[in-house]
């Protein structure tokens, strides 16, 4: 069998692990310098914790874990399940027929918008027990379709039996799936963090500043900079609405990328309230997502492409004319704020967004950044369904072609879905794998050294092995990284193999021989060789 690994995953060599550790340690050090505390959550969560939190597309990308045991046998008694469905459908059908007959309803009533509502109300008043199919209003709709039009608009259900078969296949798959898989690999670190905050709320001091560096999994299509298994490096503050948190996160990005040598990164910032305000001003509040998704593509498809997409989504030409300035939005950050303020005079939410953005921009201009650049970008619309205030995205230096290497924003009520209301938060993430690719392309890993011993004891004479091991034990107690070459090498060929090992790993000192408890120590850089006692050896290598 030819060995292989799943698509979207990778093996890491010692050098790659050292480089990744260098990045992670740099980020962790910065996190802790800014007052964040580390937490960890399980690699998998209950499916109910994750499902429904990322939209339909996100749900499809979640890796589900099969339950152990003979779950298929437990999942379903097929014959009994189908009969129960049939009884339920027939009961509902009979009650519908009685209701229609008693009230002399005809086909014209079927098209009345209140008719279906009245039918469902009647059914619920007659059926005492909670029937699962009654809660599914599509079932009632299907039965009414059969009654009045003899078919369902999307699929022929000219008989109750066909409807039962259809329900059986769909309901059965849902029923079995819930028993086949009750757990899933985490998709990101944010939802598990929300669950953590709610579950441990009595043990947490708010505002709670946490960081997390752990792997996540997504069943995505692998491509450059995108994998199915990858690390996220997140930092969040929950329990504070202060805009100073946004200011600190910008400083945190600047600190990390400066430490990594990535001068010239651009931290783009926008505000969800500004985008909502623009949509309000042009009369397209109901098309906010369509508007912003199109605007976000400005740098990729140009003005004509954006206008074409907006028109295709039902945004009027008059509305598009009102946002004409956005297509050539330039100047300093202060110039952009002034333009936005003028554009959003009639929107309270928009004006609030501009004020929030102004506070952050003014604060950063006063405090200064080391090597990063802060840029107002009104086309930035990432996570629009999720973020409620500031939105961040970090671009690599312009000399490198790479997607965003970081992002985040302000969110309200992160924990509400788990029952803890009104907990505002703001957070950012570092894209470890993309940062790695950028550092690699710019050759910024040259200072990263592989872990290695400071001294190695070669093995040419088995009679001195115990003396060497005692010496190694003493050195390690003094925190000197020490190694013993395990395989005896008495022949010239075997001894050459040991010296090659020293060379390949670039080990600085070698003890090649021990005579009468005197150690022959060689400095591989200078070639100098000295004879020393154990005490002298320890002193030289400390």
For the chain, what is the radius of gyration of the CA atoms? 33
Cα–Cα nearest to 444, from 83, 19, 15, 7 = 19
Taking only the tens of pLDDT, the chain with its 542 residues reads 899 999 999 999 988 999 999 999 999 999 999 999 999 999 999 988 888 777 677 788 999 888 776 655 554 555 666 677 777 778 878 888 888 888 888 877 776 767 877 887 787 777 765 545 555 556 676 677 777 765 444 445 566 676 666 666 655 554 555 567 789 999 999 899 999 999 999 999 999 999 999 999 999 888 776 789 999 999 999 999 999 999 999 999 999 999 999 999 999 999 999 988 988 888 877 777 777 778 777 777 888 888 888 888 888 888 887 777 777 778 899 999 998 998 898 899 999 999 999 999 999 999 999 999 999 998 888 765 678 899 999 999 988 888 889 999 998 877 887 878 888 899 999 999 999 999 999 998 876 777 899 999 999 999 999 999 999 999 999 999 999 999 998 899 999 999 999 999 999 999 999 998 899 999 999 999 999 999 999 999 98
Question: What is the rounded distance in angstroms from the CA atom of residue 105 to the CA atom of residue 250?
Answer: 65
Question: What is the rounded distance in angstroms from the CA atom of residue 496 to the CA atom of residue 493?
Answer: 5
Query: What local confidence, expressed as pLDDT, does residue 72 receive?
Result: 53
Question: What is the rounded distance in angstroms from the CA atom of residue 188 to the CA atom of residue 50?
Answer: 9
CA 104 to chain centre: 57
| Helix, strand, coil abundance in the chain, percent, nearest 5 | 50, 15, 35
Cβ distance 139 to 128 under 8 Å? no
**Residue 532, CA distances (Å) to 36, 57, 314, 395, 538 in order:** 48, 68, 85, 55, 9
Question: What is the rounded distance in angstroms from the CA atom of residue 296 to the CA atom of residue 303?
Answer: 11
Question: What is the rounded distance in angstroms from the CA atom of residue 167 to the CA atom of residue 85?
Answer: 8
**Close Cβ partners of 374 (under 8 Å, ≥ 6 residues apart):** 250, 267, 269, 333, 361, 364
Sign of CA dihedral 348, 349, 351, 355: positive
Question: What is the rounded distance in angstroms from the CA atom of residue 102 to the CA atom of residue 49?
Answer: 46
Query: What local confidence, expressed as pLDDT, does residue 177 receive?
Result: 54
Cβ distance 426 to 447 under 8 Å? no
Show the tokens assigned to 132: 């699962």
Q: Tokens 């020293």 map to which residue?
A: 502
Cα–Cα nearest to 241, from 423, 428, 416 = 423
Query: What are the structural domains, with CATH classification, of the chain?
Result: 71-180 (no CATH), 455-541 (3.40.50.800)
Question: What is the rounded distance in angstroms from the CA atom of residue 218 to the CA atom of residue 194?
Answer: 19
Query: What local confidence, expressed as pLDDT, does residue 407 receive?
Result: 93
pTM metric for this prediction: 0.74
Q: Tokens 């039918």 map to which residue?
A: 119
Cβ distance 420 to 197 under 8 Å? yes
Q: Could you tell me whether strands 64-65 and 266-271 are parallel, antiparallel, or unpaired per DSSP bridges?
A: unpaired
Question: What is the rounded distance in angstroms from the CA atom of residue 542 to the CA atom of residue 528?
Answer: 18
Strand order in 390-395's β-sheet? 37-38, 208-217, 229-238, 425-430, 406-411, 390-395, 266-271, 373-376
């Amino acid at each position: 069998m030819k060995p292989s690994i799943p698509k979207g995953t990778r093996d890491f060599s010692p050098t790659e692990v050292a480089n990744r550790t260098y990045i992670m340690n740099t980020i962790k050090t910065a996190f802790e310098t800014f007052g964040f505390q580390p937490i960890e959550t399980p690699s998998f969560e209950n499916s109910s914790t994750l499902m429904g939190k990322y939209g339909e597309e996100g749900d499809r990308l979640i890796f589900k874990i099969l339950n152990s045991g003979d779950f298929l046998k437990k999942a379903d008694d097929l014959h009994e399940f189908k009969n129960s469905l049939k009884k339920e459908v027939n009961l509902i059908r009979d009650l519908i027929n009685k209701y229609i007959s008693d009230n002399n309803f005809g086909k014209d009533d079927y098209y009345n918008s209140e008719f279906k509502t009245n039918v469902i109300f009647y059914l619920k008043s007659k059926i005492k027990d909670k029937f699962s199919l009654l809660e599914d209003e599509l079932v009632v709709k299907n039965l009414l379709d059969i009654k009045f039009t003899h078919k369902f608009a999307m699929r022929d259900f000219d008989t109750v039996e066909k409807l039962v078969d259809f329900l059986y296949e769909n309901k059965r798959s849902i029923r079995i799936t819930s028993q086949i898989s009750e757990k899933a690999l985490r998709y990101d670190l944010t939802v598990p963090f929300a669950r953590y905050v709610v579950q441990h709320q009595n043990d947490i001091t708010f505002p709670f500043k946490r960081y997390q560096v752990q792997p996540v999994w997504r069943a995505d299509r692998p491509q450059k900079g995108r994998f199915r298994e990858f690390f996220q490096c997140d930092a969040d503050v929950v329990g504070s609405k202060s805009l100073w948190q946004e200011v600190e996160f910008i400083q945190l990005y600047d600190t990390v990328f400066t430490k990594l040598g990535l001068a010239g990164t651009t931290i783009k910032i926008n505000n969800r309230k500004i985008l909502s305000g623009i949509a309000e001003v042009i009369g397209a509040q109901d098309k906010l997502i369509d508007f912003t998704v199109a605007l976000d593509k400005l740098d990729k498809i140009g003005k004509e492409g954006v206008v074409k997409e907006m028109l295709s989504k039902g945004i009027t030409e008059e509305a598009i004319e009102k946002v004409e300035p956005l297509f050539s939005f330039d100047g300093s950050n202060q110039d952009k704020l002034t333009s936005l303020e003028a554009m959003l005079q009639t929107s309270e939410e928009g004006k609030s967004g501009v004020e929030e953005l102004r506070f952050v921009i003014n604060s950063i201009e006063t405090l200064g950044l080391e090597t990063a650049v802060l840029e107002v970008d009104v086309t930035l619309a990432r996570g629009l369904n999720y973020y409620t205030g500031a939105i961040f995205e970090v671009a690599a230096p312009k000399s490198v072609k790479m997607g965003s290497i970081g992002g985040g924003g302000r969110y309200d009520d992160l924990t509400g879905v788990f029952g803890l209301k009104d907990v505002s938060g703001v957070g950012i993430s570092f894209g470890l794998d993309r940062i790695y690719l950028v550092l690699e392309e710019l050759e910024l890993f040259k200072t990263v050294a592989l872990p290695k011993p400071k001294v190695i004891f070669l093995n040419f004479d088995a009679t001195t092995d115990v003396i060497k091991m005692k010496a190694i034990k003493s050195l390690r107690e003094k925190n000197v990284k020490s190694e013993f070459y395990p395989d005896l090498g008495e022949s010239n060929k075997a001894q050459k193999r040991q010296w090659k090992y020293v060379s390949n790993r670039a080990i600085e000192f070698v003890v090649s021989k021990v005579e009468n408890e005197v150690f022959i120590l060689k400095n591989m850089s200078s070639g100098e060789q000295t004879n020393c006692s154990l005490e002298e050896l320890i002193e030289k290598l400390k």
